[in-house]
Amino acid sequence: MSASTLRAAGMVTLVVAALLGSAYALGRSLVPDHPDRGTGVAASIHTPHYGDQPPSTEFPGPPGGGYGGPSPDASPSASDDARQPDDSEGPYGARTSTGSTRIALTFDDGPDPQWTPQVLALLKEYGVKATFCIVGENAESHPDLVRSIVADGHTICNHSWNHDISLGKRSPAAIRDDLLRTNDAIRAAAPDARIAYFRQPGGAWTYQVVSTCEDLGMTPLHWAVDPTDWQVPGAAKITQTVLAETRPGSIVLMHDAGGDRSGTVEALQRLLPELMHRFQLEALPTGTT
């Protein structure tokens, strides 16, 4: 085959290859791309946020932690809908205000032998009465601290036997047994203690738990200010949040147990004189319960 024939054949081959490539590119442009496959997990603005310490081996909580609203599985039933509150109340009508211009400091999850005495000492130093939401098994383990809380004139609140965030999903009988067991442990330490309030762990209120605690003569107690000290944000952040969000009538949520509460204790040293300058502080009234 001559050289000119070979060159001609090569040119034909190049032209054919170019035409085939153009045709392939045109065909691909006419086929829609496959959509990207996501993770299958969508973020939601309705993700619950709770008000106590995150899950731990001591106080198990919902997956992912966070506090301040109903439990993830606590879907309202027909009876729940009948009890849904207006905007001036907490979940299912739980109390969020003192009902006056005074404010109330509340401390959850104790008593704790390391942190509760420090909180009590600061409150005594400034002459402030507060409300302590007590876990039954901690009352049983530290009856001396329960007696100290009562002797100092603070209000007692039932906080369930072992900080059971899912308590509200149990049967009324099981809820009743849990609350009575906790009351018994508190009164075994301090027989004259008046227990006028119940605070659902995690703020995971349901109709069942509200109805049961009210049947036992206790007021469901929520909060208005949550500095999330269970996240250990540091004393400065706790102080900043409380001072920025507290208004006349606010119920403030803090913790004297359930983890490292050094930040809470340090924050109290700054908060107490400033809050006393701005407001009157009170222990929530117990009535005759």
Catalytic residues: 108, 255
Question: Within a 13 Å sphere around the CA of 53, how many CA atoms are in the beta-carbon half?
Answer: 22
Residue with tokens 């004393």: 235
Quote the CA–CA distance of 247 and 230 in Å, as a whole number: 22
- For the chain, the straight-line distance linking the first and the last C-alpha, in angstroms and rounded, comes to 115
| CA nearest neighbour of 67 among 206, 200, 159, 198 | 200
Q: Using CA atoms, how far apart are residues 240 and 250, in angstroms rounded to an integer? A: 15
Q: Which is nearest to 267 in space by CA: 243, 249, 246, 245?
A: 243
Sheet containing 131-134: give its strands across.
Answer: 219-220, 195-198, 155-158, 131-134, 104-108, 251-255
Structure tokens at 231: 């996240």
